[in-house]
């Protein structure tokens, strides 16, 4: 069944809380708050990442892995590798993106897999 927008949410998050007019409990008993202790769909997880939360999948093998938003920014080129591409002082608009903390503590750019996209085991990280 398609997700329906909770009528109590003003942010338009599809949170699986209303089916055929019957409430469920995945968004905090329809109070407008997402129950962060439940497992979430990617749609809800993405909205939370955009809101500054860190998220992980229960199905990921590595300990301490999570994704997070790196907000966009503007900076001036002052070192390689961009210094080899642009003149020093060139203003760069760095687009926001999602990074991942790996199991060994490194930070890498993250790209969603088909499995991650369709998973319903997303969780917030405290």
Q: Is residue 40 assigned to a domain?
A: no
- On whether both 22 and 50 belong to a single domain, the answer is no
- On whether both 26 and 68 belong to a single domain, the answer is no
Q: How far is CA 20 from the centre of its chain?
A: 28
Q: Which domain range does residue 20 map to? A: 1-35
Number of compact structural domains in the chain? 2
Q: Is residue 58 assigned to a domain?
A: yes
- On whether both 62 and 29 belong to a single domain, the answer is no
What's residue 13's pLDDT? 52
Query: Whole-angstrom Cα distance, residue 57 to residue 55?
Result: 7
**Above 70 in pLDDT, residue 16?**
no
**Above 50 in pLDDT, residue 2?**
no
What's residue 38's pLDDT? 76
The pTM for the full model equals 0.69
**Partners of residue 18 on adjacent β-strands:** 23
- On whether both 58 and 119 belong to a single domain, the answer is yes
For the stretch 27-42, pLDDT in tens is 444 444 556 667 899 9
């Amino acid at each position: 069944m398609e997700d329906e927008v909770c009528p109590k949410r003003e942010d338009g998050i599809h949170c699986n809380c209303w089916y055929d007019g019957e409430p469920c409990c995945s968004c905090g008993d329809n109070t407008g708050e997402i129950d962060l202790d439940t497992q979430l769909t990617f749609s809800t997880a993405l909205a939370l990442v955009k809101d500054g939360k860190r998220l992980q999948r229960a199905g990921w093998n590595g300990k301490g892995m999570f994704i997070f938003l790196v907000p966009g920014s503007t900076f001036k080129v002052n070192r390689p590798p961009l210094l080899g591409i642009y003149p020093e002082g060139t203003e760069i608009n760095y687009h926001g993106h999602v990074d991942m903390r790996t199991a060994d503590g490194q930070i890498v750019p993250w790209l969603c897999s088909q499995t991650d996209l369709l998973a319903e085991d997303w969780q917030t990280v405290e």
